[in-house]
Structure 1
Amino acid sequence: MLGAMASDFQRRKISGVFGAMDTDGDGFLTETDFRALTARWLDLRGTDASTPAGQKLAAVMMGWWGALDEAAGGTGQVSLDQVLQVVDALPAMPGAVTGTAEAMFEAVDENGDGVISAAEYERLIAAWNGVGTPSGDVFALLDSDGDGGLSREEFTRHWFEFWAGDDPAAPGSRVFGRV
């Protein structure tokens, strides 16, 4: 459904993440915002960009910035409306969404055990939202098989639901916390 307008629900959930990512509050996402987001996440992990894990996280985040900027026209500034236009196109590009999910899974799975733990998820939410957000109930909802961790498949499905979905009841709609 290319060219469709984002629903009110999509606008609400994306606006929350956009606001958290817009670290300087200027109404645009920029490379500087993504660098600040990356630094915040590394700080929460107790590491920096000089470590292998830090380099990997920085590469994922800055790669995501490059892809978003390019999709929005390559001006170095991305507005909320531009993000929503990109989001509108995502259902027709599932590979792009799952590719981002794969990279993000690698970044969130700090210990490389193939599962995102509740603690790793908690750091993701704190990094993205800039504040600690109670996420235990959301994690339980996302952990659809109840095994105490998010598998790559679970995370990818929820990531797709968040970015390309329009169902307020879908667990993935809460991947960055409650909307």
Structure 2
Amino acid sequence: MASDLQRRKTSIVFTAMDVNRDGFLERADFEALTDRWVGIRGETGADRLREIMMGWWDAVHTASAKNGDQKVTLDEVMTAVDTLGGMLDRVAATAESMFEAVDQDGDGRISPTEYGRMIHGWTGADTPTNDAFTRLDLDGDGWIGTSEFVRHWVEFWVGDDADAPGTHLFGAVPAPGPRPGGGA
């Protein structure tokens, strides 16, 4: 079963992907998210970006929506997240595809500007990203390389360490809520 931290992390992405804010992920959400990304990036590489993003819909829907309703709930996504630890090669492959989508100029590294575009693409909002980028740039060279990004992606989706840089790949993770029976 996914931990509270994993649920809080996944909720960040789920909320960003739920473009119409109806509490479900649907194909239309992924299409709108893809259009937002293409609008930010421009048409260069748009076909590949569309392929990556809509491939995620197919994967999320197949892994999560067992009832055939064409809608995916956060709980259904969490069921899929529970299985990711057993398929790290697929998680890493997804990270490499995501890296390709974010690396707009194709130079094999993500700049602070490209990272900012990624966050804007996910959230649709202009969010300060300098502190997060600095945390993710493990070697301090001013770029996030493929191996750094893959490490962060895997940590985000599979890890359970609140202090790991990858935990914050998509932004600040909300603090835990109150525990049952009182207390924090």
Q: How does 1:1-179 map onto structure 2 within 5 Å?
A: 5-45=1-41, 47=42, 51-73=43-65, 75=68, 76-179=70-173
Q: Which has the larger radius of gyration?
A: 2
What amino acid is aligned across from residue 93 of structure 2 in structure 1? G
Identity %: 53
Task: Give the TM-score taking structure 2 as reference length.
Answer: 0.89
The structural deviation recorded for 1:26 is 1.3
1:76-115 deviation digits (Å, cap 9, x = unpaired): 2111001111111111110110111011011000010000
1:31-51 deviation digits (Å, cap 9, x = unpaired): 110111111111122x2xxx4
Structure 2 gaps, min length 5: 174-184
Q: CA RMSD in A?
A: 1.1
The structural deviation recorded for 1:52 is 4.7
Tell me the secondary structure at the aligned position of residue 28 of structure 1: coil
Q: How many residues of Structure 1 are paired with residues of Structure 2 in the alignment?
A: 171
Query: In 2, distance between residues paired with 1:96 and 1:27?
Result: 27
Runs of 4+ aligned residues of structure 1 deviating over 4 Å after TM superposition are: none
Query: In 2, distance between residues paired with 1:124 and 1:97?
Result: 18
Structure 1 gaps, min length 5: none
